[in-house]
Amino acid sequence: MLKIIKNSWALFTGYFILMVAHGFQGNLLGVRSVVEEFNFLATGAMMSGYFVGYFIGANSIPNLVGKVGHIRIFAAFASTASLSILIHAVIVNPMVWTVARFITGFSIVAIFIVMESWLNDRANNRTRGQILSIYMFITLIAISLGSLLLNFSNPIKYEPFILISLLLSLALVPILLTKRKAPKFKKLGHINIKGLYKISPLASVSMFCTGLIHSALFSLGAVYAATMNFTILEISLLVFTVTISGGFFQWPVGYFSDKTDRRLIIIFCTFLAGIFAFLSIYVSGSSLENMYLAITVDKNKILFFIFVAIYAGMAIPLFTLNLAYVNDYIEKEKFVAAGGGMQIIFGMGAMMGPFICSTLMNSLGTNGFFIHLLFFHLVIGFFGLYRMTRRRYEDNPDSTFTPLPRNITPLGIELDPTTGADISNTEKK
């Protein structure tokens, strides 16, 4: 493990800095949009802009990398991401911010693709599991720390935006200074949506709904808290709690999913998540339109944090559960291609999630946030129950649950040792 870190320290350091900035940026914009009194629809459209850019970039950047090269792509889009965040500080306008978020999403996924391609090059079939674990851990910790930076800045001022820009620029340094040559880029195929639905209707529907859920949760969570008059400390702790809880629950959820019918775990997790989404509203003892407005942490607010932590612990693993479940019904050689197709399905949901959620918040009140989450969890759960009556469980010994970062691309999925992907080209290096 230490040898892997030593040989890839530049990549991991650059990625860590990048994810700290990434975690800070999304929450900062959520809080600032409330301060600027953007309506929920405008905020939702802005947040959706990121996922639209991410989705388009994920499907176009690989071809560009093959033509231009890793280093040029990384430098160009890290610089673009650094500049795009400054647009928010210079022009405070929802439409401009939506365009800027699109640019950010496109740029960030380009960086992820280059990073994961490089990690694949550094890995071999003996070490890729360890590299994936480090990748997962860094993602979890960095995003969590990024959310805490809210406590050391004033969202109404321009300094936080400059700090994010500096961090994104700083992430360039260790990677551009690496001595190792950029790897040859390998294009990855994917199974189309129709094909994936035939393979597993439940995994496909669940992944689409998971995209709707996760994008709303991570982009509008800070908006929800700011609207509810949470302090900056409470907002940062809420986002921190969601990230940490969602990450660490992946291991026990994955363990049980490998021991039984994976559909039961998907159904259990999504229904339990739905229950705690509802309890997060109920604990306030107020109407759907108005949650408590206490400024200090009281007993109800503590319960709220506990309920949200359990919710995230059940909701976040759904992404990897869906990948593992679709793999239950295909050959090992198709795992990466299926992962690419599932990423497309997730992205389609993610693009719409913030806008749909913000529409509910605009019409039902702030707790439309939790109503959105609850509704799509119910869709997954009831569709799962229906599918259990239509298909018997098949055990595939090649398919196992491996915790994955939610931002991972198909290139990163190759790091999962269970995929059977051939990345043994580095064995001789």
Confidence of residue 292 (pLDDT cuts 50, 70, 90): very low
Domain membership of residue 152 as a residue range = 7-176+189-420
Contact 266, 322 (CB under 8 A): yes
pLDDT computed for residue 104 by the predictor: 94
Q: Residue 33: which of 94, 103, 100 has the closest Cα?
A: 94
Q: Is residue 215 part of a domain?
A: yes
The vertex-307 CA angle with 306 and 309, nearest 5°, equals: 65
Q: What is the pLDDT of residues 138-167, one digit of tens each?
A: 888 999 999 999 888 788 888 999 999 999
Residue 1 within any structural domain of the chain:
no
Highest averaged pLDDT of the listed ranges 173-182, 260-269, 363-372, 418-427: 260-269
The reported pLDDT for the residue numbered 284 is: 60
Dihedral sign computed on CA atoms, order 162, 20, 12, 98: negative
pLDDT by residue (tens digit) across 319-355?
A: 999 998 998 888 888 888 888 888 889 999 999 999 9
Residue pLDDT, tens place only, 162-219:
999 999 889 888 877 766 666 666 666 678 889 999 999 999 999 999 999 999 999 9
Portion of the chain with pLDDT greater than 70, in percent: 89
pLDDT mean across residues, the chain: 85
Whether the predicted pLDDT of 379 surpasses 80: yes
Here the CATH number for the domain that contains residue 85 is: 1.20.1250.20
Per-residue pLDDT band for 2 (boundaries 50, 70, 90) equals: low
pLDDT recorded at residue 421: 66
Residue 429 lies in a domain: no
| DSSP SS3 for 195 | helix
Residue 183 lies in a domain: no
* Higher pLDDT pick, 378 / 137: 378
For the four alpha carbons of 321, 323, 326 and 329, in that order, the dihedral sign comes to: negative
pLDDT in tens, 25-37: 988 999 999 999 8
Residue 368 has pLDDT above 80, yes or no: yes
In the predicted model, is pLDDT for residue 297 greater than 50? Answer: no
DSSP state of 404: -
428 lies in a domain?
no
Band (299; pLDDT cuts 50, 70, 90): low
pLDDT at 369 over 80: yes
**% of residues, the chain, pLDDT over 90:** 45
Number of domains in the chain: 1
**Cα–Cα separations (whole angstroms), residue 157 to 32, 65, 154, 256:** 9, 36, 6, 47
In a domain, 345, yes or no: yes
Look at residue 147 and give its three-state secondary structure: helix
Closest alpha carbon to 122 in 426, 419, 381, 428: 426
Is 150:232 a contact under the CB 8 Å cutoff? yes
pLDDT at 122 over 90: no
Buried-state track 35-45, b at ≥16 Cβ within 10 A, e below 16:
eeebebebbbb
CB 90 within 8 A of CB 99: no
Given a cut of 70, is residue 1 above it in pLDDT?
A: no
242 falls within a domain: yes
Assigned domain for 61 exists? yes
